[in-house]
Amino acid sequence: MSTRSKIQPNESRELPAVRAGNTRPCRAQRGVSTVEAACMLPFLLLLLLGVVDLGQAFHLAIEVSSAARAGAQYGYQNSTTQQDTAGMIAAAEDNASDVTTWGTNTALYGCMCSDGTEQSQLATSNSTSTSTCSTPPSTCTSKGAQLINYVEVQTQATYTPLFSWPGIPSSITLNGHAIYWAGQ
């Protein structure tokens, strides 16, 4: 004889917000996602504007730094370009053509011991000199160091944010610096 269990599986229960046979939400839940999106839209737009503004500042900082390297690379080519400080500045500014707010850009060259001591600045972009570092200082040879020539370029630009942000200055000065050493 077989026995059958009289226990029946639970019938599916329906949520109170949904009527039997109807899968649409009730009238009170309609449009909630639209209201939520409308409330969050100003915050999302503000966040997007901040990201764009910060991205432009970082892009300009990279351009200014890259310009300094380009100017130093120009001066590093040979002894003639090493003394062309105006050419180094022009090469730096030409490298970053989309930078419109240049500050004071400087270029200089000189010589020093390879251990970094006894630096002798020969000329800057504001002054000229035809002397060279042909004789190493006595301190270079006593330490076993050798004389090296160098060129140095410093670039500067000003970034003005698109919008006034609390806690952020109205303009930011960005600096680039590059120094290249070359053996005598």
Q: What DSSP character marks residue 126?
A: T
Q: Is residue 135 part of a domain?
A: yes
Q: Is residue 91 part of a domain?
A: yes
What is the CA angle 27-31-32, rounded to 5?
100
pTM of the model: 0.69
Q: Which domain holds residue 117?
A: 31-183
What is the CA angle 124-117-150, rounded to 5?
40
pLDDT, one tens digit per residue, over 29-75 is 678 888 888 899 999 999 999 899 999 999 999 999 999 999 999 99
Number of domains forming the structure of the chain: 1
Q: What residue spans of the chain are helical by DSSP H?
A: 32-76, 79-82, 85-95, 138-142
